[in-house]
Amino acid sequence: MSTGKINVSVENIFPLIKKFLYSDHEIFLRELVSNATDATLKLKHLTSIGEAKVDYGSPRIEVKIDKEGKKLHIIDQGLGMTADEVEKYINQVAFSGAEEFLEKYKDSAKDSGIIGHFGLGFYSAFMVASKVEIITKSYKDEPAAHWTCDGSPEFTLEAADKTDRGTEIILHIAEDSLEFLEEFKIRELLTKYNKFMPIPIKFGTKQQALPKPEDAPEDYKTEYEEVDNIINNPTPAWTKQPVDLTDEDYKNFYRELYPMQFEEPLFNIHLNVDYPFNLTGILYFPKMSSDMQMQKDKIQLYQNQVFVTDNVEGIVPEFLVMLKGVIDSPDIPLNVSRSYLQADGNVKKISNYITRKVADKLKSLFNENRDDFEKKWNDIKIVLEYGMLSEPKFYEKAGDFVLYPTVDDKYYTLAELKEAITANQTDKNGKLVVLYASNKETQHSYIDIAKEKGYEVLLLDSPIVSHLIQKLEQDNENMTFTRVDSDHIDKLIQKEDAQISKLSEDESSKLKTVLEELVPKATYTVQLEPMDSAMAPFMITQPEFMRRMKEMGQTGGGG
Ligand code: ADP
Ligand code: MG
């Protein structure tokens, strides 16, 4: 047997990084702006603990296009690098200076918001650039350095005359990536990935209206001034404490998050946990609507205020995927496959935490203002009913706030419903019979009959109702659900003696025979109904069981 060391040659690795490191070339900008942010946050930390004796000031990051020179500049006022540090951090592929920093300043820096950790981000620049330059001046009293590399393993490193602190990265955009010299493209990327990053990012300038002078003449024309265009909001709502935010702040943030969405959210849930994992965020229950924009607006996942993805599958419990908002967690392993995600213990904990928070919030909304909760029921019921079916942890809590509306807009909790029907809606075996309609219009005559008899009739019209009913019946042995137009209804113990049909017994049975000839026996039954003259003297019903089988077949899956 022999052992040895695999020889990784940089010559081989570069093209690999270029091609496969990230499938999405556009993320180079996210990586470089993240590094600029890290450099600034590190300086902030070092000045705060007194290790860097310089004025932190109010630094920002600038992104600049030089279209003629085919160059893209990313400039920061962070801690900079000495020539030695460039050797150490840049020339060593896969050595992360961010990780080293966090390791060194462990306790004090753990909440600093530093982003990097794989030590590969910088090299993503070569996905779009044929040559990259770094001009950098450290906060330490050392000369500036100038590093140049064309993507081959050779680089040059020389002194530079930069005098102000910070780093400028210059990308010489490759011929196949010229789109990254377009203003709209860069703006699109900055808005997508950096909209909520913690250091202000300047991209170009914009016109801003000057305030109207007090003595302005009648025909005053608004005057404008040219100001820096800051593309991000460095302190988005989710980074603040709930006590510092008003309802209006939450709504404003929703608009900021989804500028194309004009519907207001119903309510929000502020997430904030730091043990056993870190997670912050705000989730919104939207008004259910079928418009396309609504479906495009998804929950966004951030890591330290850097946008990562809006595919939160596996992290947010499935039944909450229809919600809107943001989740920010440094503890979600993002560069791994989705199937791995599902097996990751932290991710499962996060998903459970979100379920619990959502249930708690629903419960408190219900307790604080039941009227308002009932008004919102129609918009939230699908999510909640689906949650009851798919998430046992949610189902356990659902009894506290899930509602069962009647056709007359009364709303019962399950416990209240049981109480309301105990007196007169039982079958021969004493089981409670819950009558429900799935459509007020088409089933109105059956609903009227049932109400006539003094029964409560629920209105359950979600597409997943048959699954939900099955689950409720499983867990409440003393209860059975029957749709108003099914054949079991006459087996209820009735409150009063029923009114008698105006037809004679003989006439009725003749009619029944005729009808039975017309109706397919396998799926429907004809029954005589004692009722008042305003209604038909008989009903054609479908057995509950037959219909449910059919419906469950249509919606697929079991409960
Ligand atoms: P990571 O960010 O994961 O540490 P990167 O490949 O993105 O890895 O960057 C490597 C290192 O280079 C950083 O950790 C940092 O030490 C240094 N670096 C990159 N960009 C800058 C910058 N703008 N200012 C100062 N240092 C930087
Ligand atoms: Mg990085």
Tell me: the pLDDT tens digits for 209-248? Answer: 999 888 888 889 999 999 999 999 999 999 999 999 999 9
Query: Which numbered ligand comes closest to the C-alpha of 132?
Result: 1
Which residue in this structure is represented by tokens 């870190």? 278
Cis peptide before 276 (omega within 30 of 0): yes
**Which residues line the annotated binding site for ATP?**
31, 35, 76, 81, 96-97, 167, 338
Mean pLDDT is lowest, of 292-296, 475-479, 513-517, 521-525, for 521-525
Mean pLDDT calculated for residue range 402-423: 93
Q: Where are the alpha helices (DSSP H) in 276-337?
A: 292-296
Closest by Cα among 457, 455, 519 to 492: 455
Contacts of residues 403-410 at CB distance under 8 Å and 24 or more positions apart, as own/partner, are: 403/373, 403/374, 403/377, 404/458, 404/460, 405/374, 405/377, 405/458, 405/459, 406/456, 406/457, 406/458, 406/459, 407/437, 407/440, 407/447, 407/451, 407/457, 407/458, 407/459, 410/456
Report whether pLDDT(437) > 80.
Answer: yes
Bridge partners, residue 483, by sequence: 436
Report whether pLDDT(494) > 80.
Answer: no
CA–CA separation, 56 vs 43, rounded Å? 7
In the structure, what pLDDT confidence band is assigned to residue 557 with cuts at 50, 70 and 90? very low
Is 138 near ligand 1, meaning CB less than 6 Å away?
Answer: no
Query: Which numbered ligand comes closest to the C-alpha of 165?
Result: 1
**Angle, vertex CA 392, rays to CA 404 and CA 483, nearest 5:** 30
**What pTM, to 2 d.p., does this model score?**
0.81
Nearest CA to ligand 1 atom 20: 35
Mutate which of 35, 168, 169 for ligand 1 pocket (most atoms within 8 A of beta carbon): 35
> What does the DSSP 8-state code read for residue 220?
P
114 Cα–ligand 2 center, Å:
9
CA–CA separation, 235 vs 305, rounded Å? 9
Report whether pLDDT(166) > 80.
Answer: yes
Q: Where does 24-124 show beta strands of DSSP type E?
A: 61-66, 71-76
In the structure, what pLDDT confidence band is assigned to residue 325 with cuts at 50, 70 and 90? very high
- The amino acid present at 475, given as its one-letter code, is D
Mean pLDDT calculated for residue range 525-547: 57
Is 37 near ligand 1, meaning CB less than 6 Å away?
Answer: no
Secondary structure of the chain: what % helix, strand, coil (to 5)? 40, 20, 40
Is 89 near ligand 1, meaning CB less than 6 Å away?
Answer: yes
345 Cα–ligand 2 center, Å:
26
Query: Which numbered ligand comes closest to the C-alpha of 118?
Result: 1
Bridge partners, residue 461, by sequence: none
In the structure, what pLDDT confidence band is assigned to residue 484 with cuts at 50, 70 and 90? confident
Closest by Cα among 29, 21, 217 to 119: 21
CA–CA separation, 146 vs 157, rounded Å? 6
Bridge partners, residue 219, by sequence: none
The pLDDT of residue 454:
86
How many CB atoms neighbour CB 146 within 10 A?
Answer: 19
38 Cα–ligand 1 center, Å:
8
Residue 100 or 316, more confident: 316
CA–CA separation, 156 vs 48, rounded Å? 34
Closest by Cα among 483, 491, 486, 478 to 419: 478
ipTM above 0.85, yes or no: yes
Residue 340 or 110, more confident: 110
The pLDDT of residue 294:
78
Bridge partners, residue 324, by sequence: 284
Is 155 near ligand 1, meaning CB less than 6 Å away?
Answer: no
Is 122 near ligand 1, meaning CB less than 6 Å away?
Answer: yes
Task: Mention every residue, 6+ apart, whose C-beta is less than 8 A from residue 430.
Answer: 478
100 Cα–ligand 2 center, Å:
12
Mutate which of 89, 101, 112, 167 for ligand 1 pocket (most atoms within 8 A of beta carbon): 89
98 Cα–ligand 2 center, Å:
7
Mean pLDDT is lowest, of 124-133, 283-292, 527-536, for 527-536
Closest by Cα among 508, 543, 513, 509 to 525: 543
Q: Are 313 and 383 in contact (CB under 8 A)?
A: no
The pLDDT of residue 535:
47
* Strand pairing category for 155-160 and 144-149: antiparallel
Query: Which numbered ligand comes closest to the C-alpha of 34?
Result: 2
**Six-digit token string for 465:** 């109702």
Closest by Cα among 325, 186, 184, 313 to 261: 325
Ligand 1, atom nearest to 85 Cα: 16
Q: How far is CA 340 from the centre of its chain?
A: 20
Q: What is the three-class DSSP state of 244?
A: helix
Report whether pLDDT(16) > 80.
Answer: no
The pLDDT of residue 185:
98
**Which residues line the annotated binding site?**
31, 35, 76, 81, 96-97, 167, 338
Residue 368 or 219, more confident: 368
Closest by Cα among 51, 41, 47 to 111: 41
Report whether pLDDT(493) > 60.
Answer: no
Report whether pLDDT(556) > 50.
Answer: no
539 Cα–ligand 1 center, Å:
77
Report whether pLDDT(208) > 80.
Answer: yes
* Average confidence score pLDDT of the chain: 85
Closest by Cα among 122, 213, 227 to 169: 122
Q: Inter-axis angle of helices 27-48 and 183-193, to 10 degrees?
A: 60
From residue 101, alpha-carbon distances to 30, 80, 104, 116, 445 in Å are: 20, 14, 5, 10, 73
Report whether pLDDT(103) > 70.
Answer: yes
The pLDDT of residue 287:
87
